[in-house]
Structure 1
Amino acid sequence: MSTSNICNFCIENIVRSKASWGLHHPSCNSLFNSTRNRCAFCSLLYEDVKARQEQLEEFRGTDDILYRWLYEDVRQTEKLSTGQGFTTSLYRWSIRSLGKTRESKTMVALTFRVVPKEEKESDARPKVENVTFGLPERVFYCFSETELGVLFGKGTIGDTTNPHKNAGVQVERWIQSCDRNHKHCPTRAKPWGAFVPTRLLVVGTKGSEKPIQVVDTKKNNIKGHYVTLSHCWGPPKLNEPKKDALTINTMDQFMTLGVAWKDLSKNFQQGIEVARFLEIEYMWIDSLCIIQGDAKDWETEGALMHKVYRNSYCNIAAVDSKDSTGGLFRERKQHQVLPASFEGDGNSPMFGNKIWRAVREDLWEQDLLKTPLYGRGWVFQERMLSPRALHFSKHQIFWDCAEISACETVPGGLPLPLDRRAAADRHWRGRLQEAGPNRWMLVSGANDDSIEEFWKVAVENYTSCDLTQQTDKTIAVWGVAKLVRDSLGEEYGAGLWERELAEQLAWRVADCTISERPKELQHIPSWTWASIKGKILVGNSRPPKRSYTTRDYSGKPLSFKLKGDARPIAHRERSEDIKVELAAMSKELQSAADKRKNSGLSNDPSRIDKSAETASRDQEPKLLDTTIEMQGYINTAPLRWSEVSDKWALDVTANTGFKTKDAIVTAFPDVKRDLNTIEVSFVILSLTHHNGPGSLPSLSEIREDSWYSGVGIMLKPSGERDGRYVRTGALNIQYLSVGTWKYLQNTSTGREGSDEAGMKFQLE
């Protein structure tokens, strides 16, 4: 077996070239021939071409060069237009030195881009410049083998990902290094924390096929390290009950005789084998540790899942298995895994005469995050909350902890340019671990992004995943939301935060053409992104100072009502100054202590029963009322699709008599709609006042000395009762003249009988 290669074409035309750019294969057949030699560059490009074959063939009758590239075996030096120097290449390559990194003296980026074609205008389609057929840009990072030898290891790899065989050598190295050297990762030597799951599995020792017993940890006084398993259940099989699921009927058997080895799914069997390899005695698997079909047990245990994963020793992930039968272990060949290796001949000023390793830029995303497991919404919080993880993918094992992210082919840790996505997750994973009694300090690092920024990214990543049961929309992210809530000291409900709730309501969908409001989510209010199936983008949680914000009926900031009055403290305005904020929190804590003292309760922890309070705060908050009371200016305006900008726009000046440029408002419908102009209702949620001419490029003709920017939402009557509306989309207000804003205030719906703050209505 051998590593993946670099073909002769790429060696001669790229590695040994004195140029910094050039054209790639002159025909599809030439590109295909290089894939037979397992060229790392050409194989990936050919996969892309085959995936976009249909789009490419649409142009074969309008582009002679493309036709020849697709269907003729053109020689490299053949010219189509004498004197112009054009070839039939679909791709061009370029190389650039990225200089010194934290690990290496030199690093070279090799980029492949499509040579754009110009679509000819026809009756069917208008002329479109720079057609690239949807083919992605591909980047490989090339590292000197001598400089990165530690990271790349010895250049050999076993023929399986089973750790009981050769793959276990590297797993042991990661575990030992993490245990001994990583300050922020849990170790076996550290005293065990207070939390242990309600139930665990006793997995036994290597090679055992004895039944796996479910144990009650409290009754058996179990204190010790345990591992968790992330896996895909897959669709249920008709008329075939699961033999490895804990139910009311199987509980006695599983807790006395145990679960027979033969009745365990392949995922469970191989996950247990990994736990045994790690020499961890206990394991938590959801369907064997939570009573299936028991709503009460699910309500209790589901609320604790964030603690289950945060306090585990290691999470074992079956990332390449789409159902319970796939298992974790994979057979493999070296050329499928090892980075391509090549040697320069001294001609190239970039590559010189060194030996290089080439790794694709999206290694982490493509081989790990785009796997079947990590496309599931439930697993998002499992991945983010676990202190360390072993991911068993299609060709290799990936490692993740609070300090490094690595894989078998790059065991010393991903080099900087490959580590951006993994490092971001690693950064937040460390921040979400237990931070001691003063949770606020979790978000106060001098050079750290805010925890609000993490939530913004978390919602986008989470809603990009799939959920088998859309009704799990909020509970499946509650584990992460709870930690953010405890850190922020802000109340949370149905996916939104009470602070700056008016701003929170202006979330938007990333692509309304594929988003939807399915029937199973109709019980969720329209004002939260949890009512939408689709990728969601939330706005800045710390907006600029607002001169106008919608309020509730009594003129206070917008809020939602929660069952059980779950707020730990009364709502108050927050300060941007952390010292002021800490002082306010300290005052509130002292006030709470004084209340306990005056009520006759001792501050002695042994005399205070906090179990009920802790349990209620572990539970996902439930809305007492699905409506939000608001007071604002509701108006109507045409919603139009712009072919030029490829965006929706709300023409808020259409009914005012003002100029079009007196308002620039981009609209984001929640779901797909036809392109016909339609009148819609809208309300402006908040505005920031600006002095001086408009500074945006699109406002070059504006000479207003005073104007506004802000956000809003589109509405429609709910159809049930007067004064109730549902949300239909979001608005981004880039420019709103003072005159237009005054006009909208004076002509809003329900103006008669309303006060200066506008119409009172309920958003549901």
Structure 2
Amino acid sequence: MKLCQYCITNVLESKVSWDYHNHSYDALTPSSKYRCLFCSTLRQDIRRVAPWLRESDYADTWPVYRWSKRSLARIRESMETVVVTFRYVPPKKRPGGNADSEEADIALPTRTFFLFPDKELQPLPTVEQLGKTTNPSINGGHQIRTWVENCDKTHTDCMRRRKATPRTSRFIPTRLLEISGLPESPIRVIETATTTVQGPYCSLSHCWGKPDFVQLRDNNRKSFMKDGVPWNLFTNNFKQAVEIARFLDVGYIWIDSLCIIQGSAEDWVQEASRMHLVYRNSYCNIAIADSVGQYGGAFRTREPTDVSPVLYQSSQDSPMFAGKAWRAVPEDLWARELLRSSLYTRGWVFQERMLSPRILHFARNQVFWDCPSLSACEALPAGLPRPMDSTAGPDRHWRGRLQEPGGSQDLAGPNDQPLSVYWQTAVRNYTSCNLTQRSDKLIALWGIAKLIKDAMGVEYGEGLWEDNLEDQLTWRVAECRLKERPITQMRTIPSWSWASMDGEIIIADRLSDKKHWTVCDHNGRPLELDLVGVKRYARIFQSTSGETAHFLQHRVQSDSVLEVKSPKHKAQKERPNHQSANHADKDNTPKTVNENAEPILHNASIAIQGHIGCGTLQFDEVKKAWLLRLQNTNDLDIEAYPDTNPGSKGLQHHSSFVVLSAKKVVQLKSEVTSPLTEKHLFNEDIEIEGRGILVEAVAGQDKEDHFQRTGAFRFRVANEQTFRLLLVTAGEEQLSPRKYNAERGRKFWLD
């Protein structure tokens, strides 16, 4: 690509910091055909988002873009940077625009480009070195070897993590493909329990597409182990992945469909629980990013000039560019060419990308490299400049944290962000991806959850952490679109789990360590999950005054039972006789718990004691949001986030709700001086902020006191009196003292 003379003269070398860009679509077209980086990008957006702007009838709507440019302040070791931004101009703000224009705004995206001094980006590959293919045996192989060698020998953190685990104790998958034979010869499936593995293995991330390709099954297992898989049965994805692994001088590769017995539920359960170990211990993960199925392969032909950063030689009298040579690069290079590719829309691949120690991504135009120390591509082989690293950088940081071998101390990082912050990001990014099987939604993220669970030492179940469970329960759907909660085949997911919904999920922040109000379980203790393999004891300690008994919990790996240890008292935790299809029957509790397996619930119901109130959901046309309003007051609007679309926005919809937690927030109003002491005093307002969930009763004779989640809400009220309006139990007069307490509320089960 290049920069056209129009953009050089009217944008880069302009004496002003902003102006309008091209006054017609026809003027934009020749420059884009000239392969101008700026004009081509804008033209593609118009063709994709607003194709009618190409028509002559809309000639008077131009210009639709304005540009601006500025120099970024230099920090630390960052290189000199100029930012050029193109923004859509609304009709009313265009030259000669009509303030009363009824032309609708359109969602043309903002486009940003970075310009870096050519000298500071060097060394860059020449067009000849890039070549016309991404096949490393033909072009680009030298760069790939350089990345691997530098990671092996110069990346301090990467080297430390590899050396922390001796080779003799490193994890080896149950099965591998042995690829050290001759080209195009059959490739054997080996079982590592009976075959010595010499050297490391690569792993593969790919899109399955239609499952009409060779797979390991019970009826071909012996043949594939003895004679091998014939080369002609391999798809392009598999063939080229093997070629890449051989290019890296690695003798084994792990491919899911050939290393897990397809159609065997038993083998799937065992291997799915070890998936995090497979990717975390691979030598290098090979990611075929641009193929939607098995036959697209990893290698692509390309025009090398489209890959190399665009060169711009500035004029001597340019105050901003000072006669130097510069390189122009799109800001979203990493996201556009890699993360938005076919592969990375798959839910399973999210954890494969985050758990692999290093990855070679074979994308449409070039090969990308990713390890905890460096994110790079063939166009920028030394790494992404800091201004372009806002997406890859955080992922790289957390991937490095997830690679730490030393357990909780190293992984949790006392001087770093808590892992709970990463979990919020992980769930949001993961739920933005697609899954072929909804029943895989939790197991496909279990690899990451397992590492966080071990590091934090917190129990986990169905996508939620037991620590501050009342906050975890207030996740929300980013966009309320579905008319009803999806039904998941093969696995029952409780309504309180975010995995019960489709679409992007936002996990709530931890509200506070010091809460003003919080719900409890039926015994007055913090909320908990009823997990297989977790036994909870509560020992009674009599206070010195002989009044209050305190419960101290202790856990071991065993049944899910609560015993109150006292010379005179024994009690078992009250649990409803209700089981879900995917939850363990207590009579069949496993004697030992597989530490790598996703935790199983004894019971999907969470015991809660809180106030279930009544309100209505109404859509606010001004705020463009749903509000929860109480029946006994009209001056309290609460932000609500229904899980599914309640229905007509013009109607009121009945909804029950329960506040789960709240904290006090001190607002300083003004500073005054006391006339008596001459000390500075502050006038304070104390507000109360909190969260909760929307619920509805579960139908059924055996479902008395059972509710399911229908959404979430958050609030901020002016005082304690207003807050107390939220702590009213509907129908309290009909509840027995065994089920209801005026202060704590009603005992119920959340399914």
Shorter-chain TM band: 0.7 to 0.9
Mapped pair 1:227 → 2:197: no
Partner SS state of residue 244, structure 2 = helix
Superposition deviation, residue 69 in structure 1:
4.8
Mapped pair 1:712 → 2:687: no
Deviations 1:463-521 (A, max 9, x none): 00000001101000000000000010000000000000011000001101258632226
CA contact (8 A) 1:708 1:738 kept: yes
Structure 1 residue identity aligned to 2:296: G
**TM-score, reference length from structure 2:** 0.85
Deviations 1:373-424 (A, max 9, x none): 0000000000000000000000000000110000000000000011111110
Superposition deviation, residue 105 in structure 1:
4.3
Alpha-carbon distance between aligned partners in 1 of 2:369 and 2:468, rounded to the nearest angstrom: 38
Bigger mean CA offset, 712-721 vs 319-328: 712-721
Q: Which of 132, 135, 139 is the equivalent residue of 2:112? A: 139
Alpha-carbon distance between aligned partners in 1 of 2:77 and 2:186, rounded to the nearest angstrom: 48
Superposition deviation, residue 707 in structure 1:
3.2
In the alignment, what sits opposite 2:446?
478
In the alignment, what sits opposite 1:539?
508
Superposition deviation, residue 458 in structure 1:
0.3
Gaps of 5+ in 2: 540-553, 557-589, 671-682
Q: Show the 5 A alignment for 1:668-747.
A: 668-674=641-647, 675=649, 676-691=651-666, 705-720=685-700, 721-735=703-717, 737-747=719-729
Alpha-carbon distance between aligned partners in 1 of 2:537 and 2:72, rounded to the nearest angstrom: 52
CA contact (8 A) 2:79 2:385 kept: no
Partner SS state of residue 109, structure 1 = strand
Alpha-carbon distance between aligned partners in 1 of 2:100 and 2:610, rounded to the nearest angstrom: 45
Deviations 1:157-190 (A, max 9, x none): 1110001112111101111111111123259998
Alpha-carbon distance between aligned partners in 2 of 1:209 and 1:281, rounded to the nearest angstrom: 15
Mapped pair 1:417 → 2:387: yes
Alpha-carbon distance between aligned partners in 2 of 1:127 and 1:736, rounded to the nearest angstrom: 40
Alpha-carbon distance between aligned partners in 1 of 2:708 and 2:466, rounded to the nearest angstrom: 19
CA contact (8 A) 2:522 2:608 kept: yes
Superposition deviation, residue 275 in structure 1:
0.3
Mapped pair 1:20 → 2:2: no
Alpha-carbon distance between aligned partners in 2 of 1:480 and 1:512, rounded to the nearest angstrom: 27
Superposition deviation, residue 350 in structure 1:
1.2
Superposition deviation, residue 127 in structure 1:
7.9
Bigger mean CA offset, 183-192 vs 36-45: 183-192
Percent identity at matched positions? 43
Deviations 1:559-607 (A, max 9, x none): 1111233x7x8799xxxxxxxxxxxxxx999xxxxxxxxxxxxxxxxxx
Mapped pair 1:656 → 2:638: no
Alpha-carbon distance between aligned partners in 2 of 1:516 and 1:386, rounded to the nearest angstrom: 36
Mapped pair 1:177 → 2:150: yes
Q: Show the 5 A alignment for 1:198-217.
A: 198-204=174-180, 208-217=183-192
Structure 1 residue identity aligned to 2:612: I
Alpha-carbon distance between aligned partners in 2 of 1:174 and 1:235, rounded to the nearest angstrom: 34
Mapped pair 1:196 → 2:196: no
Superposition deviation, residue 16 in structure 1:
1.7
Superposition deviation, residue 347 in structure 1:
3.4
Alpha-carbon distance between aligned partners in 2 of 1:493 and 1:759, rounded to the nearest angstrom: 25
Superposition deviation, residue 691 in structure 1:
4.6
Partner SS state of residue 329, structure 1 = coil
CA contact (8 A) 1:98 1:106 kept: yes
Alpha-carbon distance between aligned partners in 2 of 1:741 and 1:356, rounded to the nearest angstrom: 59
Superposition deviation, residue 543 in structure 1:
2.9
In the alignment, what sits opposite 2:254?
284
Q: Which of 355, 370, 393 is the equivalent residue of 2:325? A: 355
Which structure is higher in RCO with an 8 Å CA cutoff and minimum separation 6? 1
Superposition deviation, residue 130 in structure 1:
10
Partner SS state of residue 82, structure 2 = strand
CA contact (8 A) 1:229 1:315 kept: yes
In the alignment, what sits opposite 2:87?
113
Mapped pair 1:748 → 2:730: yes
Bigger mean CA offset, 717-726 vs 740-749: 740-749
Bigger mean CA offset, 207-216 vs 501-510: 207-216
Label 1:367 to 1:264 Cα distance change in 2 as closer, same or farther (>3 A).
same
Q: Show the 5 A alignment for 1:536-615.
A: 536-541=505-510, 543-565=512-534
When the two chains are superposed, the root-mean-square deviation of aligned CA atoms in Å is: 2.7
Q: Which of 59, 63, 70 is the equivalent residue of 1:68? A: 59
Q: Which of 217, 222, 228 is the equivalent residue of 1:252? A: 222
In the alignment, what sits opposite 2:419?
451
In the alignment, what sits opposite 2:401?
431
Mapped pair 1:642 → 2:614: no
Q: Which of 429, 452, 455 is the equivalent residue of 1:461? A: 429
Alpha-carbon distance between aligned partners in 1 of 2:172 and 2:456, rounded to the nearest angstrom: 25
More strand by share: 2
Deviations 1:13-66 (A, max 9, x none): 012211111110110111111111000001111111111126759xx9xxx9x8
Alpha-carbon distance between aligned partners in 1 of 2:320 and 2:529, rounded to the nearest angstrom: 60
Bigger mean CA offset, 350-359 vs 385-394: 350-359
Mapped pair 1:236 → 2:211: yes
Partner SS state of residue 616, structure 1 = coil
Structure 2 residue identity aligned to 1:89: P
Bigger mean CA offset, 749-758 vs 92-101: 749-758
In the alignment, what sits opposite 2:485?
517
Superposition deviation, residue 148 in structure 1:
1.8
Structure 1 residue identity aligned to 2:665: H
Partner SS state of residue 559, structure 1 = coil
Alpha-carbon distance between aligned partners in 2 of 1:625 and 1:747, rounded to the nearest angstrom: 26
Partner SS state of residue 749, structure 2 = strand
Alpha-carbon distance between aligned partners in 2 of 1:571 and 1:643, rounded to the nearest angstrom: 51
Q: Which of 339, 354, 376 is the equivalent residue of 2:346? A: 376
CA contact (8 A) 1:24 1:91 kept: yes
Q: Which of 572, 593, 596 is the equivalent residue of 1:618? A: 596
CA contact (8 A) 1:230 1:315 kept: yes
Alpha-carbon distance between aligned partners in 1 of 2:667 and 2:132, rounded to the nearest angstrom: 67
Superposition deviation, residue 139 in structure 1:
0.4
Q: Show the 5 A alignment for 1:501-516.
A: 501-513=469-481
- Number of positions where the alignment pairs a residue of Structure 1 with one of Structure 2: 674
Alpha-carbon distance between aligned partners in 1 of 2:101 and 2:478, rounded to the nearest angstrom: 24
Alpha-carbon distance between aligned partners in 2 of 1:136 and 1:195, rounded to the nearest angstrom: 46
CA contact (8 A) 2:357 2:403 kept: yes
Partner SS state of residue 119, structure 2 = coil
Label 1:716 to 1:175 Cα distance change in 2 as closer, same or farther (>3 A).
same
Gaps of 5+ in 1: 71-87, 121-125, 573-586, 590-611, 696-702
In the alignment, what sits opposite 2:582?
none
Superposition deviation, residue 693 in structure 1:
7.3
CA contact (8 A) 1:515 1:532 kept: no
CA contact (8 A) 1:718 1:724 kept: yes
